[in-house]
Every structure is written in structure tokens, then in C-alpha cells.
């Protein structure tokens, strides 16, 4: 039995870049194929040992809950 992937996370350089990638992907694939898929751009804030804060951005692609 194949195991289904529940979500995929793709690192991106910024929130804006993530949104642009999602828009481009939807335009290429077409909305009909994406009715069961959600796209979100998430940021996770991190802090280095020296106290520098940064945000790691990623696109989260997952199946919609039925």
C-alpha cells in the first residue's frame, strides 16, 4: 500500500517570493487540478546565539481536509 504524503514544505527566500511562486504555479497548472490542494506561505522566526533574529520562509502545500 502506498503511503500518501500529507504535506510538502519548500524553503523560499521571502514571503513575497513564496507568494509569487504559488501564483505562478497555479497559473501554469490551472485551477481545475488544484481544487483539493491548499498553498500557504509560513514564516518561522529564529534567533542566533548572537541575538540576531531572522525569519525562515517556506511554502506549505497540503491536501484540503474533506
Can you tell me the distance from the alpha carbon of 59 to that of 54, in angstroms, rounded to the nearest whole number?
17
What is the pTM (predicted TM-score) of this model? 0.76
Domain regions of the chain by residue span: 7-63
pLDDT tens track of the chain, all 66 residues? 777 778 899 999 999 999 999 999 989 988 677 888 899 999 999 999 999 999 999 999 998 876
3-state helix, strand, coil in the chain (%, to 5): 30, 40, 30
**Alpha helices in 4-62, H assignment, sequence order:** 15-29
Amino acid at each position: 500500500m502506498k503511503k500518501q504524503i500529507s504535506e510538502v514544505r519548500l524553503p523560499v527566500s521571502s514571503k513575497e517570493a513564496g507568494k509569487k511562486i504559488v501564483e505562478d504555479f497555479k497559473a501554469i497548472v490551472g485551477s481545475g487540478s488544484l481544487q483539493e490542494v491548499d498553498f500557504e506561505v509560513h514564516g518561522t522566526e529564529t534567533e542566533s546565539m548572537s541575538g540576531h533574529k531572522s525569519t525562515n520562509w517556506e511554502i506549505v502545500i497540503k491536501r484540503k481536509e474533506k
